[in-house]
Amino acid sequence: MTRVPGVGRLTAALATATVLCLTVSGCMTVHGELEVLPGATESEAAQALKDFTDAYNAADKAYDPALDADRVTGSLGAINQAGLKARQTNSPEGNKAHKPLELTDATYIIPKKAGWPRWFLADTDSNRDEDGGKLDSRWLLTFVRTGPDALWKASYLAVVPPSQVPEFTLDADGLATPVEPQSDELIVSPADLSIAYTEYLQKGTPDAFAPGTATSGWRETRRTTRRAGFSYQYIDQPLSGSTFGPLGLRTEDGGALVFFSSKHFERQVTAEGLKPEVNADVKALMTGEVTNSLTKERVSSQLVHVPARGEAAGSGGKVRVLNRLPGLVAAKGE
């Protein structure tokens, strides 16, 4: 199921026809390729999911980031590669408790667009439910391909209950509608989500996000974190360039489901005679030596539902964070 001629003038025309738009949902025109096409066929999407799963399992079993480096990108790639690097350092013999990841019952939501990069969303079931399968969840993975000869790479992952997977806006061919990064039809454009989210975490404004554990709850946790002899500092930065750009799809309610990335720093500074604790994973990714300061750097991906402007005006709708996936990517001791 798919949710799925003069020489001088010719030279100038060919030069004009090789323009790359740098946003993720932009386009690249190669040899006049301007036709709006499906981001992938269903068979291509299924093969991409299989190739990712095979590479992920090989890398997880060996704790070797090189084994899936060409199948991940963006925030998922940053988190995956840093995690494997840390585990390889701490367990060079590999993962003795490896359990193969299985992604089944896949539905592919495939948007139509012109040029490159192209992408699609895989809505899957996994064998990694933390509660042993008592409560079902869906793994939503985005796959991006930057050109006709490039590999499909997984760029975002979100784990949500089935009730949080919306109905997507599909055309007569079952193809989805992507949201342009600069779209002004939503209360926050996808291109501005990372900026808005990190400014909210720092200042409490803009007031565009619904209360929740990844928004008001996280701000409160930071505010109330106390430990004798320790001070905590937090810096949040937008992350949207290159492979970290947002990806969004129109939903039947008029809004959109959007993935976006961000970066977060947590610094612990201690009083004289105390030292921040450094666990094995942090130590494996750390530069410098901890005396009285430790800074942890994390990359995070968020899956949000963004209401349309009209919907927000009529009902007070706000951006809802459906899932947040953070991962440690670096640390610095001082």
164-174 pLDDT per residue, tens? 999 999 999 99
When the pLDDT of each residue in the chain is averaged and rounded to a whole number, the result is: 89
Torsion of CA 200, 203, 208, 211, to 10 degrees: 80
Neighbouring residues of 225: CB distance < 8 A, sequence distance ≥ 6: 232
Q: Which of 16-20, 113-117, 182-186 has the lowest mean pLDDT?
A: 16-20
Share of the chain above pLDDT 90, in %: 80
Higher pLDDT, 11 or 53: 53
Domain extents for the chain?
A: 36-333
pTM given for the model: 0.88
Distances in Å between the Cα of 294 and the Cα atoms of 23, 269, 287, 288, 333 are 34, 7, 10, 9, 5
Q: How confident is the model at residue 131 (pLDDT cuts 50, 70, 90)?
A: low
Residue range 156-164: average pLDDT? 96
pLDDT at 9: 39
Higher-confidence residue of 293 and 29: namely: 293
Evaluate the omega torsion of the peptide bond into residue 92 and state whether it is cis, within 30 degrees of 0.
no
Mean pLDDT for 199-228 is 94
pLDDT of residue 27: 42
Residue 320 CA to chain centroid, in angstroms?
Answer: 16
pLDDT value for 33: 62
Is it the case that residue 271 has pLDDT exceeding 70? yes
**What mean pLDDT is predicted for residues 71-98?**
98
Query: Is the torsion defined by CA of 294, 295, 296, 302 positive or negative?
Result: positive
> Averaged over 223-251, what is the pLDDT?
95
| Average pLDDT of the segment spanning 11-38 | 48
pLDDT (average), residues 75-82: 98
Provide the pLDDT for residue 310. 77
Percent of the residues in the chain that have a pLDDT greater than 70, as a whole number: 87
Binned at pLDDT 50, 70 and 90, residue 325 comes out as very high
Please give the pLDDT value at position 241.
86
In this predicted structure, the answer to whether residue 30 has a pLDDT above a threshold of 80 is: no
Residue 19 is predicted with a pLDDT of 35
Predicted confidence at residue 129, as pLDDT, reads: 77
Take residue 237 and report the two structure tokens written for it: 């930065």
Taking residues 203-221, report their average pLDDT. 95
pLDDT at 17: 37
Amino acid 109: pLDDT: 98
pLDDT digits (tens, 9 = 90+) for 280-305: 999 999 999 999 999 999 999 999 99
Residue 15 is predicted with a pLDDT of: 39
CA angle 165, 303, 42 (to 5 degrees): 55
Q: What is the rounded average pLDDT of the residues 304-333? A: 87
Which of 255, 256, 262, 257 minimizes the C-alpha distance to 234?
262
The whole-number pLDDT of residue 22 equals: 35
* Predicted confidence (pLDDT) at residue 250 exceeds the cutoff of 80: yes
SS (H, E, C) the chain: CEECCCHHHHHHHHHHCCCECCCCCCCECCCCCCCEEECCCHHHHHHHHHHHHHHHHHHHHHCCHHHCHHHECHHHHHHHHHHHHHHHHHCCCCCCCCCCCCEEEEEEECEEEECCCEEEEEEEEECCCCCCCCCCCEEEEEEEECCCCCCCEEEEEEEECHHHCCCECECCCCCECECCCCCCCECCCHHHHHHHHHHHHHHCCCCCECCCCCCHHHHHHHHHCCCCCEEEEEEEEEECCHHHCCEEEEECCCCEEEEEEEEEEEEEEECCCCCCCCCHHHHHCEEECCCCEEEEEEEEEEEEEECEHHHHHHHCCCEEEEEEEEEEEEEEEC
Dihedral (CA of 78, 122, 188, 208) sign: negative
pLDDT for residue 134? 54
